[in-house]
């Protein structure tokens, strides 16, 4: 993200059972190239954190699918579980389709193309 980020923010919350590290990047949104590079840089951070065993929590809408992809234990067992619940509770897929990367059956093939 070199040259595109104007500032980084960071905060940590630590307790006996968890550590939450929240960070943010601030960039010049009037620069299309800088914005694109910043988005790609933020996505790279999510991927690198996942390689180290860390997961994204409460991802921005633009990163929900990427964040969900990092939770791959048991060949995405949790994703399959919540998709079954989604299909049972909302068979027409009208309640917040894609929120937290939980897509209704009618959208799932489309999301794999992204």
Confidence of residue 5 (pLDDT cuts 50, 70, 90): low
- Across-strand partners of 7? 26
- Element containing residue 108 per DSSP (H, E): helix 105-112
Spell out the residues 6+ positions from residue 42 whose beta carbon is closer than 8 angstroms to its own.
Answer: 1, 25, 63
Domains and CATH numbers, the chain: 5-58 (no CATH), 72-112 (1.10.45.10)
Radius of gyration, alpha carbons of the chain: 16
DSSP string for residues in 75-105: HHHHHHHHHHHHHHH-TT--SSTTGGG---H
| pLDDT of residue 113 exceeding 60 | no
Average pLDDT, integer, range 48-73: 89
Q: Which pLDDT value is given to residue 112?
A: 59
Average pLDDT, integer, range 66-82: 92
Name the residue among 62, 98, 70, 61 with its Cα closest to residue 83: 98
Torsional class of 100: left (φ above 0), alpha (ψ -120 to 50), beta (otherwise): left
SS3 label, residue 4: coil
Longest Cα–Cα distance in the chain? 47
Q: Give the pTM.
A: 0.74
């Amino acid at each position: 993200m070199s040259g595109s980020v104007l500032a980084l923010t960071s905060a940590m919350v630590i307790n006996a059972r968890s550590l939450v590290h929240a960070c943010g990047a601030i960039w010049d949104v009037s620069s299309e190239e800088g914005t694109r590079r910043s988005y790609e840089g933020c996505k790279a951070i999510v991927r690198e954190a996942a390689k180290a065993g860390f997961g994204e929590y409460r991802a921005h809408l633009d990163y929900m699918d990427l964040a969900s992809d990092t939770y791959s234990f048991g060949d995405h067992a949790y994703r399959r579980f919540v998709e079954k619940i989604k299909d049972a509770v909302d068979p027409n897929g009208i309640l917040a389709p894609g929120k937290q990367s939980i897509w209704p059956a009618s959208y799932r093939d489309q999301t794999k193309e992204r």
